[in-house]
Amino acid sequence: MGADHEAVRARLGRVGVWTFAFDALRAVDVREAVAAIESLGYPALWVPEGGSSREILAHLSLLLAATREMTVCSGIANVTARHPEAMAGGGRTLADAYGERVVLGIGIGHQTTAGRRRQEWEDPIGRMVAYLDAMDAARMGPDPDVPVHRLIAALGPRMLQLAASRAVGAHTY
């Protein structure tokens, strides 16, 4: 395991909070709720991106701005929802603003998600590799002081192998 992996693992801790609950709340209520969660001592908060949830990069920004130390993670940001340059630029902006406190979990989603977004579902591994290549090639804004820490949603052996080689780890939800 590399130094980045160990640092991210330490920041995430052994137990965190994962919730869809904020999607039904107004921003003012989200800020209050996340501050309460942080006050309970949880080191990490995970929020997903579903078909009817908040836009994940804006959501992460809202949560990070409302906390002081908690690590905030996308669990996951779906690659069918945005262009890889937008994902890279958003991740870089968040890392520039919040440093080590942000972890960008990204995933390929599922066939139903792709269909709902009128995208083809084929070769998930190849699609993720191409997406990561495009993210890595994107240069938007200044380089943050810390790298964008990313996790890849993975269940099968090939995606887990990809996560090991192209991210700080896997999000196995």
pLDDT in tens, 50-83: 878 899 999 999 999 999 999 999 999 999 999 9
**H helix intervals, the chain:** 3-12, 27-39, 56-65, 84-98, 111-116, 124-137, 157-166
Burial class of residue 50 (count of CB atoms within 10 Å of its CB; 0-12, 13-18, 19+): middle
Lowest model confidence (mean pLDDT) among 33-37, 58-62, 112-116, 162-166: 112-116
Q: Which of 97, 24, 44 is nearest to 34 (CA)?
A: 44
For 106-123, what is the mean pLDDT? 79
Say how many domains are in the chain: 1
pLDDT over 70, % of the chain: 97
Instruction: Output the CA–CA distances (angstroms, integers) from residue 37 to 16, 41, 43, 63, 66, in the order listed.
Output: 10, 7, 9, 11, 11
- Cα dihedral 141, 75, 55, 132, rounded to 10, equals 40
Domain of 145: which CATH number? 3.20.20.30
Return d(Cα 173, Cα 158) in angstroms, integer.
16
pLDDT surpasses 60 at 158: yes
pLDDT, average across residues 91-118: 88
Q: Kindly report the average pLDDT of the chain as a whole number.
A: 93
Q: For residue 153, what are the domain limits?
A: 3-171
Angle at 144 between CA 139 and CA 146, to 5 degrees: 125
Q: What are phi and psi of 171, to 5 degrees?
A: -105, 110
Q: What is the pLDDT of residue 132?
A: 98
pLDDT for 51 = 76
| Tokens standing for residue 70 | 């908690």
Nearest to 93 by CA among 149, 150, 143, 166: 143
At 1 the pLDDT is: 45
Using CA atoms, how far residue 17 sits from 5, 37, 47, 122, in Å, is 20, 8, 8, 32
What is the separation of C-alpha 9 from the centre of its chain, rounded to a whole number of angstroms?
Answer: 14
